[in-house]
Amino acid sequence: MSGRAEGAWIFGYGSLIWRPDIPFREKRVAHVRGWTRRFWQGSHDHRGLPHAPGRVVTLVPEAGARCGGMAYFVEAAAMGETWDELDYREKNGYRREIVRLEFREGAAEGAVYVAPVGNHAFLGPAPFPEMAAQILRSAGPSGANIDYLRRLAGALRRLEIDDPHVFEVERHVEDLARRDAPGCGAEHGTTGGDHVR
């Protein structure tokens, strides 16, 4: 397996699924055990602003849970620039952890960016309607928060990864968006920017 060659696996479970933007040699669907994906992390630099954070995903430890995402193998020669790029992109409360990645065949160690409970940008749980309203109204340098949610939910569906939390957030946001629809489109426009995620 490629994990034995010189280099490292990096596991993406949020924007890294649909916009890796790293020089990977290979990608594979992977799962990590003992973690669950939650829209509990504040985004002040990508999908929200310092005074009005959006909501993005982090991994939260949960016994018996299993989280699906995409793992990328990066060769040793490209690791330096890859860490620089990702450390900058995930700077708002995330830190690297080493986890065991389970592939359809085999397993390997890999790195993952986790925003731990209690980090400076951690928002924690909230009722679904509250999280949905925040996602619907938030936007930042990387674009509208709702686009992050839609891309994530779409990517999970294409990969056939079930995630009841993400799909429940999506259901609430889309219901709210439909209710808000007339005249509200401009509020949720994208702004573009570097290091989009």
Residues belonging to the active site: 90
Mark the segment that binds ligand SIN (CB under 6 A) among 9-17, 29-37, 138-146, 161-169. 9-17
The closest residue (CB) to ligand SIN is 14
Enter the tokens of residue 156. Answer: 């999970």
CA distances from 60 to 92, 105, 157, 183 (A): 16, 25, 21, 37
Q: Which of residues 90-129 bind ligand SIN (CB under 6 A)?
A: 90, 113
Structure-block tokens of residue 107: 């397993």
CB 136 within 8 A of CB 147: no
- 14 makes contact with ligand SIN (CB under 6 A): yes
43 bridge partner residues: 54
56 or 144: CB nearest ligand SIN? 56
Q: For residues 33 and 175, which CB has a smaller minimum distance to ligand SIN in the complex?
A: 33
The residues facing 72 across adjacent strands are: 10, 27
Distance CA 17, CA 121 (A): 22
Residue 144 contacts ligand SIN per CB under 6 A: no
- Asked if 12 interacts with ligand SIN (CB under 6 A), we say yes
What is the rounded CA–CA span in Å between residue 67 and residue 53?
25
Which residue of 30, 32, 57, 108 would you call a contact of ligand SIN, by CB under 6 A?
Answer: 57
Asked if 152 and 17 touch (Cβ cutoff 8 Å), the reply is: yes
CB of 90 to ligand SIN, least distance (A): 6
Contact positions toward ligand SIN, by CB under 6 A?
Answer: 12-16, 56-57, 90, 113, 197
